[in-house]
Amino acid sequence: MTNRFFKKTTLALGAIFLLTLMPVAANAGVADIISLLTTITSTLQNGVGQVLSEIQSINTTVRNFEQQVVWPVTLINQTRAEVSQMRALFSSLASQIQSIPTNSATLVNPSQLEQLLRSQRAGSLNQINASYTQVYQALPPANQATVMQRNLIDVDDAFALGALKTATVSDQASQQMLTVADGLEQQAAQSAPGSASILTAQAQAANLQNQAMLQKLLAAELRQEAARLAHANALRKQSADANRDLRNNMQQILSR
């Protein structure tokens, strides 16, 4: 009797033990998993999905803005076409205007000098001196003018010739600069918005060179103007010297 009771008690205790321990562990795992899955789902829907959707919307807006407002392909192509049209219309017109001859001398010697001066070729610089002398005469020999006069004539001729040669050189450089400008315009007609900045930088560098050449011309003009001023002043000095000599001679005559 006691044995049977003991057996029953043991079985009951074992069953209670199993029922108590097992469900507790199982219930806790499922809840955690459900909670975890809910969190993941919510994160995917709200945290990731929503943000991705906004990124997509921003990207679309940026793309549309770039392609329709900032760099519309039709407008880019239209601008290129306009550059080509403008080049064809104005550059040829400007070229025609510039090529109108301005030579006006009628006699042989002046015509020859004029031709050299308007040749736009730096290679003809050496011929200018001889042609200039034929038109403006050579320096008087030492027995026909004073040293001061000869120096003055020589320096006047030198400044005049120097300026004429600089003008000839400048003409050639202008022609080359026009070629550069045409090349830039031609390239602009084929450029893209991204490559145009390279062309602009080149144009600015060419502009700087042009300015430097302009300064060289201006320097020649300054020398010319200074020489004109100095020449007039030298004549005043000569006049003062002549007056002094006259006064001295008169005094000598009167003292006799």
Per the CB < 8 A criterion, the answer to whether 133 and 153 are in contact is no
Residue linked to tokens 């600069």: 177
Please identify, using beta-carbon distances, which residue of 73 and 107 lies nearer to another protein.
73
Per the CB < 8 A criterion, the answer to whether 168 and 121 are in contact is yes
The total of other beta-carbon atoms located within 10 Å of residue 131's CB is: 19
- Which listed range, 81-89, 96-104, 105-113, 187-195, lies at the site for another protein (CB under 8 A)? 187-195
Q: Does 146 bind another protein (CB under 8 A)?
A: no
Total binding residues for another protein by CB under 8 A? Answer: 111
Per the CB < 8 A criterion, the answer to whether 154 and 140 are in contact is no
Least gap, CB of 109 to another protein (angstroms): 18
SS3 106: coil
Q: Dihedral (C-alpha) 116, 118, 119, 120: value to the nearest 10 degrees?
A: 130
Among residues 113, 116, 117, 169, which is the contact residue for another protein, using CB under 8 A? 169
Q: Measure the CA–CA gap between 252 and 245, rounded to whole angstroms.
A: 10
Residues of this chain, 64-123, that bind another protein according to CB under 8 A: 66-67, 71, 73, 76, 122
CA distances to 164, 169, 200, 206, 248 from 254, in Å: 51, 59, 80, 71, 10
- Which listed range, 89-97, 101-109, 110-118, 182-190, lies at the site for another protein (CB under 8 A)? 182-190
Please identify, using beta-carbon distances, which residue of 105 and 206 lies nearer to another protein.
206
Quick one: which of 225, 236, 235 has its CA closest to 159? Answer: 225
Helical H runs in 43-142? 50-65, 73-86, 92-98, 108-117, 125-136
Among residues 78, 98, 146, 190, which is the contact residue for another protein, using CB under 8 A? 190
Residues of this chain, 193-232, that bind another protein according to CB under 8 A: 193-202, 204-209, 211-216, 218-223, 225-232
Q: Does 246 bind another protein (CB under 8 A)?
A: no
Among residues 19, 41, 93, 108, which is the contact residue for another protein, using CB under 8 A? 41
Least gap, CB of 106 to another protein (angstroms): 26
Residues of this chain, 1-30, that bind another protein according to CB under 8 A: 3, 6-7, 10-11, 14, 17-18, 21-22, 25-26, 29-30
